[in-house]
Structure 1
Amino acid sequence: MGVEIGSDRKIVRHRAHRAPAAAAPGGRRVVVVGGGIAGLSAATGLAERGAEVQLIEREPHLGGRVGGWTERLADGEEVAMSRGFHAFFRQYYNLRRLFQRTDPGLERLVALDDYPLLDPQGRVDSFRGLPRTPPWNAVAFALQSPTFRLRDLVRLNPRAAAPLGDVGVPKVYERLDHVDAESFLHSINFPPAARHLAFEVFSRSFFAPPSQMSAAELATMFHIYFLGSSEGLLFDVPDAGFDRSLWTPLQKYLTARGTDFRTGTTVQRIDLVDAERPFRVHDDAGRTDEADGVVLATDVTGLRSIVEASPTLHAPQWTDAVRSLRTAPPFFVQRLWLDTPVAAERPAFLGTAGRPPLDNISVLDRYDRDAQDWAARHGGSVVELHAYAVAADADQRTHTDRLRRALLHRLHEIYPETGRAGVVAESFLWRQDCPLFGLGDFARRPSVATPHPGLVLAGDGIRIDLPVALMERAATTGWYAANRLLARWGLPGHDLFSVPTAGRSAVLRRLTARVEEGAA
């Protein structure tokens, strides 16, 4: 598409397979299992090249972990609900290209002007007004930060921090995947007062405590968002519920291109049949779909379940790799409809540290039209509270009640005016379906390609050797899965984009090499 991808002059284009001039589209039937970002990206890539796509999604709505739906409050009023706040960073090139299919100018995304982080002592770090280009963004941040000082940069252990100066994939995983994020930060002498930055911005984004998260993932995140990109650390958010802003328009776009959607349906198993139509996909409604290709774009539990129930797919090592995938600890989302406005100076999003169980606060009526409409009718606010990596408890009801009270207490503590507000309505949910990026997982994680030609995987838990993470990894693996099938059938693929695939600065790369040579 002839649209601007991003502002960074060092964006890397990864060119897709180019089909011969005589290649003709159409005639191939593909089943995409999973209607999240990965599955929708794959479906788009395939449908645009003439494939007949059947998309099957377990939930009644699209979007996966970025799905949105409508709930009815106790008074009968319908409101938008989701699994919680998501930040759409400017570095998410492949995800943003998906959105541009129905919103070329990305007008349904709203820019937030800051991403403040509150530490236990009440100090606030801000990303507003920072230069975008490394290393000046890091220097400027250190100069203005109340928790990370310029002198802290001087005290960093250059030998331990060397991998941050030249992050490449899979190189950084070979160096750091055996080290946990917490130990890595300690080894580089990252100042204790500022560690909430790394934990909250990066580690907690993976819904896992730093002691369980790979330091390689942390280093890759630093590269994507800070040291390797000039797009900055600010981000956009949808201007209304995810379904309204993102997925309903995309569903219409794909339906017009022949894609059929079957929601509220679970795929149970896949059979390998013959060379003519290699796959039979069986769902829980008793239907069977024959297909030339299959994209498995489910969560970890769904992927393991389907593969385990499909003996004809089993293959040495690959089946074990799928079985080895793990999920992160559960997280909790609490959304409150208050009868009093949150103070005008409160940001749309606030990350918190050292105030368990709260991880962040979102004030939805700062940017979301659905929340704004409700707030205008009721003279109040819509607030969302997140708790990540929550410890499990056998007594779920008591655990939930205790967590709800604790989160509300933290909200009142940080935004005292909410203590005087009445709760008109409340909705909450538990989920545990995010992949865990634990120590040593990268080498054994399954990749997009599988031992079975025509069967590909996609999702943010699937390995791809590019510097991408979270929603962007889901989108990138989805596009790449489509490209694998299209190349197999002699059809043109779709170019992918990423931040630089090595350290951005030649000087830092040379320094990194020298430090590592000295350590050898």
Structure 2
Amino acid sequence: MTDHRRVLHPATPGLPHAAYLAARPTVAVVGAGIAGLAAATALAERGVQVHLYEREPHLGGRVAGWTETLPDGTPTAMNRGFHAFFRQYYNLRNMLRRIDTDLDMFVPLDDYPLVDGDGRRDTFRGLPRTPPFNAMAFALRSPTFRVRDLMHLDAKAAAPLAKVSVPQTYWQLDEQDAESFLQDINFPVAARHLAFEVFSRSFFTRPEALSAAELATMFHIYFLGSSEGLVFDVATSNFDVALWRPLERYLRRHDVQVRTGTAVHSVTADGTGFVVTDGSGGTVRADGVVIAAEVPGLQRIVADSPGLGDPEWRYRIGELGSAAPFVVRRLWLDRPVLADRPAFLGTGGLPPLDNISVLNRYEAEATSWAQRTGGAVVELHAYSVTEDSAGLRAQLDARLHELYPETAGAGVVHEVTLCHSDCPRLGPGDFARRPTVRTPQEGLVLAGDGIRIDLPVALMERAATTGLAAANALLDRFGVRGHDMYTVPVRGRSAVLRRLAGRADRSDGRVWA
């Protein structure tokens, strides 16, 4: 919250608390990932009775943490992989300030280098914070992006990067895929792996399957739109310990009924509210419902709730898709990696590997195990895979040994390989068809990182922001004051770049000059 250009989106006014109402409203929140937790927090703080359902035995959704048991019986931490908590994730970080005002559960990661198949290495260390100087400095010192490359960019085609405006950028670019967009602007092939694919892979997809509008918006969020865009934190402990158990205690203190290990089967509107039925047949009556499930879960609930919404809305829900599967492979090794290995290394042109994390550099549980055993805890990611297989695991391990040769002779004390396909598809043309937070069914709202919201947010912050927006929609319906939201600027923050982009739009020039 240090960027003076951040934008306040004020809440709708209303009563300060549900206690001022004639009757206390009840809301069922379906899904306890980031979106559902944000909604439950916002509603409970205003005095709404909340029933929070989560199919899994733990909170956090795709950012959940749990315990694995090593072969010697030692319990150890496990989750679905590395997550970067960027400083401009205002709404997510504000939610987490409920459990720690200073956010001491995080530690900054001072660098996250990127390396390509030719061994060229880019770094974010020491870049200036202020846009556009941050992006310029990154480009000018990059071994994969030379000054003459800058002069060969197609200024007219690249203009949308400089004058991003949400949601207008989606109407302009969403039908195009990110790979074609990069080709159109003549972005150098070598630098694409390091400067742009890092964004597309954050969506667990490849540039040819990602909307160009999502790419441009990400470039705005992390480079040109925020002075906090290139700095991020990581959790100092496994996510369940650092984040979700403390937040669960906070929610319970606010009278939230937390129901883990309980899947919702259907939601029925009966004229006076809703009846939420779980998988065991149990029911709860509610005045409002937030569905904050992942895409397959949302589709399943809507399919089993035939009276919900209208035909067009139900069709749009059915048309939602998931990104290709991704694999997270965690290895407990019997020897350390070299001391100068970064906590996080992104890769390009080294398939199937997309990044390597050395967890004992920052996560308390991994650090403790490594110190006790003299080993290391290393994690490998592969995105957009066809399926998890022994062959893929062997290829990932081979890439690890290639990049970190000291691991080639290491023994594997334990390994866990996860393969999931539950991240939302954000492909070309998807934006206009995605359902929004508000639905045709009065009192029913949606949240999640696959739900459309016309603000410059992405990934975990999109989940938190839609959850907050869903809660605000219901609070407004009840006549209770909502919660303020914050984002990076909704359009390109540099007037100079916007003018240059406008000039390029009106010309057929090929250079930024």
Aligned mate of 1:463, from 444, 447, 452: 452
Partner of residue 13, structure 2: 18
Partner of residue 150, structure 2: 153
Count of equivalent residues: 506
The Cα of 1:350 is off from its aligned counterpart by: 0.1
Distance 1:135 1:302 in 2: 40
Partner of residue 267, structure 1: 264
What is the TM-score when the length of structure 2 is the normalising length? 0.97
Deviations 1:459-507 (A, max 9, x none): 0000000000000000000001000000111101000000001111111
Partner of residue 492, structure 2: 503
Amino acid at match of 1:368: E
Contact conserved, 1:200 with 1:359, CA < 8 A, in 2?
A: no
What is the TM-score when the length of structure 1 is the normalising length? 0.96
**1:302 equivalent in alignment to 2:291:** no
Distance 1:195 1:361 in 2: 19
Partner of residue 409, structure 1: 398
**1:311 equivalent in alignment to 2:306:** yes
**1:357 equivalent in alignment to 2:357:** no
**1:321 equivalent in alignment to 2:316:** yes
Partner of residue 337, structure 2: 342
Distance 2:438 2:140 in 1: 46
Output aligned runs, 1:98-497, within 5 Å: 98-275=95-272, 278-392=273-387, 399-497=388-486
Contact conserved, 2:35 with 2:448, CA < 8 A, in 1?
A: yes
Distance 1:118 1:228 in 2: 25
The Cα of 1:203 is off from its aligned counterpart by: 0.6
Distance 1:215 1:21 in 2: 41
- For residues 259 and 418 of structure 1, do their structure 2 counterparts lie closer, same or farther at Cα, with a shift above 3 Å needed? same
Shift >4 Å, 4+ stretches = 20-23
Deviations 1:333-374 (A, max 9, x none): 110111101100000000011111110000000000000110
The Cα of 1:91 is off from its aligned counterpart by: 1.1
Distance 1:498 1:232 in 2: 12
Contact conserved, 1:200 with 1:352, CA < 8 A, in 2?
A: no
**1:76 equivalent in alignment to 2:65:** no
The Cα of 1:22 is off from its aligned counterpart by: 9.3
The Cα of 1:518 is off from its aligned counterpart by: 4.4
Deviations 1:45-86 (A, max 9, x none): 000000010000011100000000001122211110001111
Contact conserved, 1:115 with 1:234, CA < 8 A, in 2?
A: no
The Cα of 1:514 is off from its aligned counterpart by: 2.9
Partner of residue 395, structure 1: none
- Please state whether the residue corresponding to 2:311 is helix, strand or coil: coil
Amino acid at match of 1:412: H
The Cα of 1:511 is off from its aligned counterpart by: 2.3
Partner of residue 514, structure 1: 503
Amino acid at match of 1:313: L
**1:31 equivalent in alignment to 2:31:** no
Distance 1:410 1:322 in 2: 39
Identity %, equivalent residues = 62
- For residues 20 and 240 of structure 1, do their structure 2 counterparts lie closer, same or farther at Cα, with a shift above 3 Å needed? closer
Distance 1:22 1:480 in 2: 17
Amino acid at match of 2:482: G
Amino acid at match of 1:138: A
**1:47 equivalent in alignment to 2:29:** no
- Please state whether the residue corresponding to 1:211 is helix, strand or coil: helix
The Cα of 1:508 is off from its aligned counterpart by: 1.4
The Cα of 1:286 is off from its aligned counterpart by: 1.3
Contact conserved, 1:127 with 1:141, CA < 8 A, in 2?
A: yes
Partner of residue 396, structure 1: none
The Cα of 1:452 is off from its aligned counterpart by: 1.0
Amino acid at match of 2:355: N
- Please state whether the residue corresponding to 2:331 is helix, strand or coil: strand
The Cα of 1:199 is off from its aligned counterpart by: 4.0
Contact conserved, 1:125 with 1:146, CA < 8 A, in 2?
A: yes
The Cα of 1:314 is off from its aligned counterpart by: 3.7
Amino acid at match of 1:347: P
The Cα of 1:169 is off from its aligned counterpart by: 1.3
Amino acid at match of 1:406: Q
Contact conserved, 1:132 with 1:230, CA < 8 A, in 2?
A: yes
The Cα of 1:21 is off from its aligned counterpart by: 7.0
Deviations 1:137-175 (A, max 9, x none): 122112211111222222210100011111111100111
Partner of residue 511, structure 2: none
The Cα of 1:509 is off from its aligned counterpart by: 1.5
